[in-house]
Copies of this chain bind each other. A is one copy, B any other.
Amino acid sequence: MLGFPLIVLNFKVYLEAIGENGIRLARYAEEVSKEHGVSIAVAPPVTMLSKVIHAVGIPVFSQHVDPSPPGSWTGSVIVEMIKECGVAGSLVNHSEKRMLLADISTIIKRLRESNLITLLCTDTIETTKAGAALSPDIIAIEPPELIGTGISVSKAKPEIVAGAVDVVRKINPSVHILCGAGISTGEDVAKAIELGTEGVLLASAYVKAKDPRRLLSDMAQAALKAWEAR
- Interface of chain A: mostly helix, strand, loop or mixed: mixed
Q: Does A221 belong to the interface (CB within 8 Å)? A: no
Could you give, for residues 38-79 of chain A, a 1 whenever the CB lies within 8 Å of some chain B CB and a 0 otherwise?
000001011111110000000000111000101111111110
The reply to whether A63 and B72 contact each other, CB–CB distance below 8 Å, is no
Q: Which listed residue (B10, B77, B131) contacts A47, Cβ 8 A?
A: B77
Q: Does A185 belong to the interface (CB within 8 Å)? A: no
Given the known interface contacts A100-B98, A101-B100, the answer about A70 and B14 at a Cβ–Cβ threshold of 8 Å is yes
Q: Does A203 belong to the interface (CB within 8 Å)? A: yes
Q: Tell me which residues across on chain B come within 8 A of A73, comparing CB atoms.
A: 12-13, 96
Q: Count residues on chain A whose CB falls below 8 Å from chain B CBs.
A: 64
Q: Which listed residue (B46, B70, B100, B104) contacts A75, Cβ 8 A?
A: B46
Smallest CB–CB gap between A95 and chain B, Å?
8
Q: Does A209 belong to the interface (CB within 8 Å)? A: no
Q: Does A30 belong to the interface (CB within 8 Å)? A: no
Q: Does A99 belong to the interface (CB within 8 Å)? A: yes
Taking the full assembly, how many copies of this chain does it contain? Answer: 4
19 interchain pairs, CB-CB under 8 A: A12-B71, A14-B70, A14-B71, A18-B80, A18-B81, A45-B81, A48-B50, A63-B75, A64-B74, A75-B94, A77-B77, A100-B101, A102-B127, A105-B124, A105-B127, A126-B133, A127-B134, A129-B133, A133-B171
List 17 additional contacts besides A10-B74, A74-B97, A95-B102; criterion CB under 8 Å: A12-B74, A15-B71, A18-B84, A45-B77, A45-B78, A46-B46, A46-B47, A50-B51, A72-B96, A76-B97, A100-B100, A101-B122, A105-B124, A105-B127, A133-B133, A133-B171, A171-B171
Query: What residues of chain A have their CB less than 8 Å away from a CB belonging to chain B?
Result: 10, 12-15, 18-19, 43, 45-51, 62-64, 68, 70-78, 80-82, 84-85, 91, 93-105, 109, 122-124, 126-127, 129-134, 147-148, 171, 203-204
